[in-house]
Amino acid sequence: MQTKRPPFWQREKYTPYLLLLPAILTILFVVLLPLIFSFYTSFTGYRLIRPESLWQWVGLRNYERIFGDDDFWAAFVRTIVFLTIALNLEFLLGLGIALLINKITWGQRTLRTIMMFPMMFSPILVGYQFKFVFNDNIGILNNALESLGLSDGAIPWLVDTYLANFAIIFAEVWMSTSVFAILLLAGLFAMPRDPIEAAKVDGCNAWQVFRHITLPFLMPFVFIAMTIRSLDVARAYDIVDVMTGGGPAGRTELLWTLIARTGYDNARMGQANAMGYISIILSIAFTYYFFTKLIASRRYMGGAD
Amino acid sequence: MTTRTLKTLLAATALTGIAAGAVSAEDVDYGNFDGYTLRVKLIGGAQYEPLYARISEWEEMTGATVDVLSRKNHFELDREIKQDIAAGTLDWCVGSNHTSFAPQYGTIYTDLNGLIGEATLAEFQELALQNSTVDGRLVQLPRHSDISNLFYKKSLYADEDNKAAFKAEYGYDLAPPETFDQFKDQAIFFADAPSFYGTQYVGKDEAITGRFYEMLVANGGQLFDENWEPTFNSEAGVEAVQWFKDLYDAQAVPAGVLNYLWDDTGLGFASGTVAMNLDWAGWASFFNDPANSKVAGDIGLVRAPKGSGGLRSGWSGSHSFSITEGCDNKDAAASFVTFLTNHDSQMIEATAGLLPTRAKVWDDAKAKFAADGNDFLVEVFDTYAQSMAEDAFTPPLIAPWIEVSNEIWPRLQSAILGEMTAQEALDEAADAARIVMEDAGYL
């Protein structure tokens, strides 16, 4: 007697898909559909305040305009520079902090918790805090410098091209260095002691141990932290918006302050989405680069491909 | 309750009021909306909040409940409303609005003509209602108005040494400025950076565009010609930009001024480190309160200076309330906004220095200040009444105004910082503004 085959959703080979279905549906609705929708709108003259403009197909006009827009490309390049400087500074400082904390034997937990404090603030609050610190007239920094006799004039921290970008990077680094520190600290904790002891027995000095054992071992952690932070920093908005709003004269304009102004204040959502899609290239490039480095560093350590 | 009944009631109340010689809130029947929940989005911030304490009175009177969905500053509220338009979630009834922002919202707000009784509307200043009208539709009920006049530190002008030194350097007597040129001379004269500044200006967003715009007009220029072609890159425009730049270069204003908005300029003047401050009347009480301000008791006030065209700068607008077209109970909404802009409500706001939009409140508030012995606020109201009557003008009430503004202000900053000349900056802004106007269908 032939047994009747169960309906297909009860067959074993479909079970995994069935179980994954809720996740797949969620991702479809929460991620994919909005992506397709926003991609579509980047080819329209969609303006938030004119819902009917959603159907106004303009082809590649939004993209053509962006390619000819110097302000956009200036913001694009500025974002790359900003990203590069901020990530490297955070990496160096985070590494330093992780190594120092790793040496401590007493009170380490407390220090680890204290180290996380900056991450607990909302970026908007961090922005306001540093806006006040760097204010040229009533700010703490200028007043301190004047009181100490180190400066005799009001330094325009948030106006000068270099100083303004420095101030924003400083705020960003202050808030997020602990992300690096925590991830690298986790790496240090997971590190086997044997190679280090073997190296010491073989007569390596501290620098050689760090350079050839600790650092290569930490690199996979570094690149994971870099990937996460590069996506964060590429979306930097709150701090910049509060501190300078991308100004003055566009000197601190990053991609997302420009895109938010285009999309919301000017209500040109179609064009803003086109800018968003070009900006995604930047994030994809950084992510791809860091993942390649991650795989390379794991291979170097004899890890799995 | 139907619109007709409300209108009749309001009209009847107004008539009784005229007979009695005064209209007071108690005479108006605000209707009965028992069990109804009115959903509203209001502007938030220290100067706007005191009025909202009255909401509970309206709730008690009408039996309705008010659900405040958001209470944000105007720029954030603007974004939220735009998102609501896009998402089709305009399921609330009353929203805060402003003259400069109203035109871009199209037809989401209903025409208040016919919804709010003529007798009530007649109590409002004609100009305020005119400025609240977009494409022939009264889309907002004005709550209070703004326009700027010049506050100055009196003692500086009374000082004999200052008088002599100023006369020797500039060749005319030191007195509060009558023109923008004098304003500039005196700001530079008083400045002693970094401890004391001649003045401050708002340096970004629509704030500096507005200042530029009013100086452009005062210098005899215009933003657009009659065909909506941008014309602000004229001689008058260059002169206006040069004024900002000269003050900046002379360090008569703080170096960070390009990041300043209204709070920064107001608090700066109150800190006693600034000689002159062109600002709205909303700060008046704050400036003269010794608990908040180091210049309390030492403040003079004159009308805004004249430009080279012989006109005074008079950029003006009103904060207002609007009712959505899709509101499910427009009568309740109308009752609510009428209540929040009635005589008593406006008296509360006037006490803080906010300029009323009801003609009668001007007199009553002034009488109250005089009775309280507050001569400063009497002077404030006299000065601002004159400028509201003679100098006030709004930005062009067109949908792309904010967008045009966003093309102008970054270029103003570039010119002030010396990255390009005033003429180059304005030419570039005019080209960009032309594209905005083309896209919006004006050109």
DSSP A227-261: HHHHHHHHT--HHHHHHTTT-STTTT--HHHHHHI
The CA distance from A66 to the nearest CA of chain B, in Å, is 14
Instruction: List C-alpha distances in Å: A284 to A63, A72, B87, B107, B286.
Output: 19, 18, 29, 41, 52
Residues B224, B179: Cα–Cα separation, whole Å: 24
DSSP symbol at A184: H
Mean pLDDT along residues B145-154: 95
Among B19, B10, B23, which residue's Cα sits nearest to residue B346?
B23
**Residue B356: helix, strand or coil by DSSP?**
strand
Whether residue A248 is preceded by a cis peptide bond, meaning omega within 30 degrees of 0, is yes
Residues B259, B409: Cα–Cα separation, whole Å: 12
**Is the CB of A156 less than 8 angstroms away from the CB of B256?**
yes
B402 shares contact with chain A (CB less than 8 Å): yes
Q: Are B314 and B98 in contact, with CB atoms under 8 Å apart? A: no
B410 shares contact with chain A (CB less than 8 Å): yes
For residue B72, the cross-strand partners are B43
Residue in A with minimal Cα distance to B88: A51
Residues B221, B235: Cα–Cα separation, whole Å: 8
Q: What is the CATH number of the domain that holds A211?
A: 1.10.3720.10
**Is the CB of B259 less than 8 angstroms away from the CB of A267?**
no
| The CATH number, out of the four listed (3.40.50.2020, 3.40.50.1000, 3.40.50.300, 3.40.190.10), of the domain defined by the range B3-145+316-390 | 3.40.190.10
Burial status of residue A141 (CB atoms within 10 A of its CB: 0-12, 13-18, 19 or more): middle
Chain B residues in contact with A130 by the CB 8 A cut-off are none
Confidence of residue A51 (pLDDT cuts 50, 70, 90): confident
DSSP symbol at B101: T
B419 shares contact with chain A (CB less than 8 Å): yes
**Is the CB of B256 less than 8 angstroms away from the CB of A266?**
no
Give the A window 186-245 contacts with B, CB below 8 Å. Answer: 243-245
Confidence of residue A303 (pLDDT cuts 50, 70, 90): low
Mean pLDDT along residues B300-321: 95
pLDDT for residue B378: 94
Domain interval for residue A158: 70-300
pLDDT for residue B109: 95
In a domain, A32, yes or no: no
pLDDT for residue B24: 45
Residues A70, A79: Cα–Cα separation, whole Å: 14
Question: Which residue do the tokens 């008046």 mark?
Answer: B284
Residues A138, B272: Cα–Cα separation, whole Å: 12
Domain boundaries, given as residue ranges, for chain B: 3-145+316-390, 148-315+398-439
- Detail the DSSP E strand segments found in B10-93: 37-43, 65-72
Mean pLDDT along residues B435-439: 92
User: Residue B21: left (phi > 0), alpha (psi -120 to 50), or beta?
Assistant: left
Residues B95, B108: Cα–Cα separation, whole Å: 11
**Best interface-test mutation with A: which of B109, B259, B414 has the largest number of A CBs within 10 A?**
B259
B271 shares contact with chain A (CB less than 8 Å): yes
Residue in B with minimal Cα distance to A155: B255
Side chain identity, residue B280: W
Residue in A with minimal Cα distance to B401: A266
| The CATH number, out of the four listed (3.30.465.10, 1.10.10.10, 3.40.50.2000, 3.40.190.10), of the domain defined by the range B148-315+398-439 | 3.40.190.10
Q: Of A173-182, B179-188, B398-407, which has the strongest mean pLDDT?
A: B179-188
pLDDT for residue B11: 44
B291 shares contact with chain A (CB less than 8 Å): no
DSSP symbol at A8: G
Confidence of residue A75 (pLDDT cuts 50, 70, 90): very high
Residues B413, A268: Cα–Cα separation, whole Å: 23
Mean pLDDT along residues B141-167: 95
**Is the CB of B193 less than 8 angstroms away from the CB of A154?**
yes
Mean pLDDT along residues B412-424: 95
Residues B426, B411: Cα–Cα separation, whole Å: 7
Structurally, chain A folds into a number of domains equal to 1
A69 shares contact with chain B (CB less than 8 Å): no
B256 shares contact with chain A (CB less than 8 Å): yes
In a domain, A207, yes or no: yes
Residues A200, B322: Cα–Cα separation, whole Å: 76
Residues B35, B63: Cα–Cα separation, whole Å: 6
pLDDT for residue B13: 42
Residue B247 confidence (pLDDT) above 80 = yes
B406 shares contact with chain A (CB less than 8 Å): yes
B255 shares contact with chain A (CB less than 8 Å): yes
Mean pLDDT of chain B: 90
Residues B336, B333: Cα–Cα separation, whole Å: 5
Q: Are A251 and A161 in contact, with CB atoms under 8 Å apart? A: yes
Mean pLDDT along residues B359-382: 93
**Number of neighbouring beta carbons within 10 Å of residue A103:** 9
In a domain, A288, yes or no: yes
pLDDT, one tens digit per residue, over B107-139 is: 899 999 989 988 899 999 988 899 899 989 999
Helices (H), ranges, B145-232: 154-158, 160-170, 180-190, 205-218
Q: What share of chain B is helix, strand, coil (3-state, %, to 5)?
A: 50, 15, 35
DSSP symbol at B141: E
B107 shares contact with chain A (CB less than 8 Å): no
Residues A16, B312: Cα–Cα separation, whole Å: 76
Within 13 Å, how many C-alpha atoms sit on residue B49's CB side? 7
Mean pLDDT along residues B215-232: 96
Residues B95, B99: Cα–Cα separation, whole Å: 13
Q: Are B218 and B312 in contact, with CB atoms under 8 Å apart? A: yes
Instruction: List C-alpha distances in Å: A52 to A63, B86, B94, B326.
Output: 21, 9, 23, 17
pLDDT for residue A146: 86
A50 shares contact with chain B (CB less than 8 Å): yes
**Number of neighbouring beta carbons within 10 Å of residue A213:** 18
Structure tokens at B247: 């003050």
pLDDT for residue B25: 42
The CA distance from A76 to the nearest CA of chain B, in Å, is 17
DSSP symbol at B117: -
A48 shares contact with chain B (CB less than 8 Å): yes
Residue B255 confidence (pLDDT) above 80 = yes
The CA distance from B356 to the nearest CA of chain A, in Å, is 29
Among B317, B320, B363, B371, which residue's Cα sits nearest to residue B341?
B320
Q: Are B259 and A244 in contact, with CB atoms under 8 Å apart? A: yes
Q: Are A229 and A236 in contact, with CB atoms under 8 Å apart? A: no
Mean pLDDT along residues B15-22: 39
Return the percentage of chain B with pLDDT > 70, whole number.
94
Chain B residues in contact with A153 by the CB 8 A cut-off are 193-194
The CA distance from A233 to the nearest CA of chain B, in Å, is 23
pLDDT for residue A1: 54
Q: Which of B203, B254, B406 sits opposite A137 (nearest CB)?
A: B254
Structure-model confidence comparison of residues A213 and B47, the more confident one: A213
pLDDT for residue B12: 42
The CA distance from B240 to the nearest CA of chain A, in Å, is 17
In a domain, A112, yes or no: yes
pLDDT, one tens digit per residue, over B42-100 is: 998 877 889 999 999 999 999 999 999 999 888 789 989 998 998 889 999 999 999 98
In a domain, A6, yes or no: no
Q: Of A122-126, B101-105, B299-303, which has the strongest mean pLDDT?
A: B299-303
pLDDT for residue B264: 86
B142 shares contact with chain A (CB less than 8 Å): no
pLDDT for residue B443: 87
B103 shares contact with chain A (CB less than 8 Å): no
In a domain, A17, yes or no: no
Mean pLDDT along residues B200-213: 93
Chain A residues in contact with B88 by the CB 8 A cut-off are 51
Residues B433, B231: Cα–Cα separation, whole Å: 10
Give the B window 338-397 contacts with A, CB below 8 Å. Answer: none
In a domain, A35, yes or no: no
Mean pLDDT along residues A71-95: 93
DSSP A205-230: -HHHHIIIIIHHHHHHHHHHHHHHHH
Mean pLDDT along residues B22-46: 80
Residue A266 confidence (pLDDT) above 80 = yes
Residue B338 confidence (pLDDT) above 90 = yes
Q: Please determine, for the modelled complex, whether the ipTM score is greater than 0.90.
A: no
In a domain, A147, yes or no: yes
